[in-house]
Structure 1
């Protein structure tokens, strides 16, 4: 039986926090199954704490090159993951995304065709990255009875929306503009059913 200290050490080791490792950032991000990134500089602090000779500017270059993406995943919050993990993890986490949309915005979206709105948001954002406010305003032209903010959240929760640079670059700001992971990475998402996770069924009823 593990003592509390042993369990503590084992947990810190699994999180790469007992010492700085000589590991490529991509390997570390995959090992950790993503880095919480609700604040844009969070992943830089997280990697500096774990990796020897971590270069934040070089990480920004790799983010620009689309090796990493920022996307809503665990707990419906923004995480930095590798492109491969993005395409694998996002379908697995569709069910909690649907629950969040329904519980937080269901009443405000009564009467809205959720799938039609999501399809329209996909068209808009694959044409050019947009903020969720801009998405909601655009969707309100077709669904004027609904809250623009709630309409924007359809895109956030029903689609695989990644935040595009310069948001997330080291020591730089930028609006939270989004497009789909499929468009940004030029690849399809994994099929949820093939990962042992049933495809989500969404209803506001």
Structure 2
């Protein structure tokens, strides 16, 4: 008979994989590898995501890993930018390509006249000369293909070629207009052509399981992962959730008791914890899920209470004072507010080390 996992059991299992029950002593590359990447649509969130997961994390730890080319920031799962280990990027970039190809459909009528077989060799030549920002790349490609939409040219290159962003000494690792270069130039190797779908599925379960095939598809954008998980079935544990959905997991993966303590935690914008499942009730209620994404598709920063998303937060800097404002979904007990305040002050000390004052406030629920 299939064992049923409660919502709280799924919550605690996922938090354990995500290093949110207790901070880890692992290195930055080890942590990023265990997470199978961090969403990095913007430069700052990975720093905050690592701070909330690694004991004693420092900004320079991530800077060092980026400049030593152990980690890269590149387009990956769901066609979005991710922070990945170089090894994972080279292993998984090719299996993700169908997602990126499908993403080109977003161009619609703007793709008129676009011929990737002609555009990509020109783009490669430009990138072999020097790293390029996409503003620069679009301008140069437009000169070669004047009848094709400029945005379509740049987007085709971004989604079709294995590119990585070149880190700088900026505070959060990358300026708004960071340059891209060929992965083979930056890493000295090209993405593997060998299929790594089974390995990718296993790594997903290690970071986010127990999970359904639909969950894996939502995280990766790959419909083929459903077939892969079914093929791996003899090597996996199979559970059911309270709605009867079939869940897969690695046999020896951690599944703590559902009453395991879960400390308050702050998650940055775009954190994969709130994006990696089709059914996200294990971390956020269906009622509150729609409010996490803004009209321009930004995913808000959140905080966890007893393992579940209990609200959103944002920071502000005025002169020498750094402040963090909580926006809880429901009234918070005094003890929880005290825990959140202590954690928020530590977060502000990390993000604003030169501030002389910290302020934590909470809006009425």
- 1:70 matched to 2:73? The reply is yes
Q: How far 1:115 sits from its partner (Å)? A: 1.9
Task: Specify every segment of 5 or more residues in structure 1 that has no aligned partner in the other structure, as ranges.
Answer: 198-205
Shift of 1:170: 3.1
Task: Identify the match of residue 132 of structure 2 among 130, 133, 136.
Answer: 130
1:20 to 23, 47, 52: 23
Alignment pair present for 1:195 and 2:196: yes
1:201 maps to what in 2? none
TM-score normalised per structure 1: 0.88
Distance verdict in 2 for CA 1:125–1:33, change over 3 Å? same
Contact 1:133–1:149 (Cα < 8 Å) also in 2: no
Rg: which structure is higher?
A: 2
Aligned residue runs from structure 1 range 170-189, under 5 A:
170=172, 173=175, 175-189=177-191
Q: Aligned partners of 2:50 and 2:106: how far apart in 1? A: 33
How many Å separate the matches in 2 of 1:168 and 1:84? 24
User: Does 1:97 find its partner at 2:100?
Assistant: yes
Q: Could you list the per-position Cα deviations for residues 20-70 of structure 1 after superposition, in whole angstroms to 9, with x for gaps in the alignment?
A: 011111111111110011110111111111111112112202211111100
**Partner in structure 2 of residue 141 of structure 1:** 143
| Aligned-CA RMSD value | 1.9
1:112–1:134 Cα change, 3 Å:
same
Higher share in strand:
2
Between Structure 1 and Structure 2, the one with more helix by share is: 1
Gaps of 5+ in 2: 199-365
Cα distance in structure 1, aligned partners of 2:148 and 2:165: 25
The higher relative CO (CA closer than 8 Å, separation ≥ 6) is in 1
Equivalent of 1:35, from 14, 35, 38?
A: 38
TM-score, length-normalised on structure 2? 0.51
Q: Is residue 56 of structure 1 aligned with residue 54 of structure 2?
A: no
Aligned partner of 1:154 in structure 2 is: 156
Shift in Å, 1:137:
1.4
The separation in 1 between residues aligned to 2:159 and 2:191, in whole angstroms, is 15
Whole-Å separation in 2 of the counterparts to 1:167 and 1:151: 29
Q: Distance in 1 between matches of 2:173 and 2:11?
A: 33
Deviation, structure 1 residue 169 = 5.0
Runs of 4+ aligned structure 1 residues displaced above 4 Å come to none
